[in-house]
Structure 1
Amino acid sequence: MNYVLSIYKQNKHLINQLVKRDVLQRYRGSYLGVLWSFVTPLFMLAIYTYFFGFVFNNRWGESASDNKFEFALILFCGLIVFNFFSEVVTKSPTLMINNTNLVKRVVFPLEVLSIVLMRSAFVHTLISVLILVIGLIIIGSVHWTIIFLPIVLMPIVLFATGFSWFLSSLGVYIRDISQLIGLIMQALMFLSPIFYPITIIPENLRFVYYLNPLTYVVEDMRRILMWGQMPDWKFTILGLLLSIVIFFLGLIWFRKTKRGFADVL
């Protein structure tokens, strides 16, 4: 833990600058610039409302209301979590390859690149959360349980960072892993309770969904934001402990394997 804190403290300014560069570079040359970070989730929210609410006329469970916009917000909760995790995981296998100039610098702390990737993705997550909260205000459904949001998101943040260290290291030695991760993430979107409640899954198959780390975070997001319920503390604490283990295992793995990066690249 002290090693992680020391890396962050020593390179705090560098991390902040790299995150800023990454966020701005994504929209460099466009007319709207960073405003696309707001426009994109707003546009997607409008699409979800129209197609799932009006075209398919879906409802979330038997006891859900007929409010089409509320249904879109329920979907949006799940997609916020998935999009964050997907962005970190899909970019990780090529993280070192895309920063070869930094890898070959002897004194550059390569560990910070996964932290930068996570924080950059989290910036867009926070923007989406802001839009979600505005939507909740519009429908008059803001609950005090929103204060648990940092606790609910912490497991997926730690898990994604640790997993990023694993994948960014493996991506140097096994280039095909990038393609494999892309396929897995496509499958994971439909194997997570994002577009449907987990209650519609037959009980004998639900264990598959509970092996998915996204499931707990998505479910808790909806509990605290949409329905004003407390998080499922048992799974939240268990998920946090598991994420801490993945976080440190990923860091240990990365530190042991990074010595050969420069030779391979």
Structure 2
Amino acid sequence: MRNIWKHSELIKQLAFRDIATRYKGSYLGVLWSVIIPFLMLTIYTFVFSVVFNARWNSGSTNKIEFALIIFSGMIVYNLFSEVANRSPGLVVGNVNYVKKVVFPLHILPVSVVLSTIINMLISVAILIIGLLIFGFGLHWTALLFPLVLLPLILFVLGLSWILSSLGVYLRDIGHVVGVLTSALMFLSPIFYPVSSIPNEFQFFYKINPISYVVEDTRQILIWGNLPNYQWIAIGTCLGLLFSFIGYKCFEKTRRGFADVL
């Protein structure tokens, strides 16, 4: 944390540059960060609520509510998937920084996590606008969203440090991560409630950190219920431990980056 705070200004510059570079040269620019979530939301809502005729256990048949429920889960999942998919090529794609002895390479994953969070906030704003427009209201529990998201942020930060260092030595790791993140989307309760998971598969839900955050996000943003504080406490401690391990792995392996690249 001391090292991150020391380079906080540089991290912010890299994060905003990353956002600007992502949409550089496109006609719609940052608007794509709004258009893409809407398009994916429309597709998933049509497939699951119309084609498969899926319904949530809330007892409502309102397709708008179903869409907002899915969207809230997608917001959390996209934070994880974007960081995970970009991390393996992070150091490899910034060879110039590796050659600079004085450049703090460990802040590259931090800047990616920060830019992803900023991009995610646009989707959160869309969700809030949707809740207000369609009469679902905005609950005071929405203020707890940063607290609910904290365990996942710590987890993806540690994961980004690990994957970015592995990506230097194992170039195939990027393809493996892409497959795993796609599978995890359907193994997490994004398109279905936890109660619909058979008992024999509940174990996979319990070891999936995304599941808890997805459920708590819906509870506080859509239904106005309090989150699972027990998981937040345990998840934050585990996230801190995992991010510490990830940082140590990155620092241990970075000594060979210049030789490999």
TM beyond 0.5: yes
Instruction: Give the letter for the 1:119 counterpart.
Output: L
Match of 1:214 in 2: 210
Match of residue 123 from structure 1: 118
Shift of 1:65: 1.1
2:109 to 107, 114, 120: 114
- Distance in structure 2 (CA, Å) of the matches to 1:251 and 1:53: 42
Tell me the TM-score normalised to structure 2 length: 0.95
- How many Å separate the matches in 1 of 2:126 and 2:163? 31
Structure 2 counterpart of 1:236, which letter?
Answer: I
Q: Could you report, residue by residue, the CA deviation over 1:215-239 in whole angstroms, capped at 9, with x for unpaired residues?
A: 1000101111111111011112111
Q: How does 1:33-44 map to 2 (within 5 A)?
A: 33-44=29-40
1:126 alignment partner AA: L
Q: Is the 8 A contact 2:45 2:70 kept in 1?
A: no
- Quick one: percent identity of the two aligned structures? 53
Structure 2: give runs of 5+ residues left out of the alignment.
none
Instruction: Say yes or no: does 1:81 pair with 2:79.
Output: no
Instruction: Give matches, 1:120-159, under 5 Å.
Output: 120-141=115-136, 142-159=138-155
Which region of structure 1 is more displaced relative to structure 2, 101-110 or 140-149? 140-149
Q: Secondary structure of the residue that 1:120 maps to in structure 2?
A: helix
The answer (yes or no) to whether the contact 1:216–1:235 under 8 Å persists in 2 is yes
Question: What per-residue deviation string (whole Å, max 9, x for no partner) do you get for residues 190-244 of structure 1?
Answer: 1111111111111121011111110100010111111111101111211111101
Displacement of 1:57: 3.5
2:161 is the counterpart of 1:165? yes
Q: Which ranges in structure 1 are unaligned for 5 or more consecutive residues?
A: none
One-letter code aligned to 1:160? V
Letter in 1 for 2:77: F
Is the contact between residue 52 and residue 72 of structure 1 (CA under 8 Å) also seen in structure 2?
Answer: no
State the 4+ residue runs in structure 1 displaced beyond 4 angstroms. Answer: none
Find the partner of 2:185 among 162, 176, 189.
Answer: 189
Describe the SS at the equivalent of 2:101.
coil
Contact 1:53 1:71 in 2 (8 A): yes
Partner of 2:66: 71
Kept after mapping to 1: 8 A contact 2:48/2:191: no
1:139 CA drift (Å):
2.3
**Alignment partners' CA distance in 2, 1:203 and 1:57:** 23
Aligned counterparts of 1:45 and 1:67: Cα–Cα separation in 2: 15
User: Aligned pairs, how many?
Assistant: 260
> SS in structure 1 opposite 2:171?
coil
1: CA distance, partners of 2:25 / 2:53: 39
Label 1:49 to 1:202 Cα distance change in 2 as closer, same or farther (>3 A).
closer
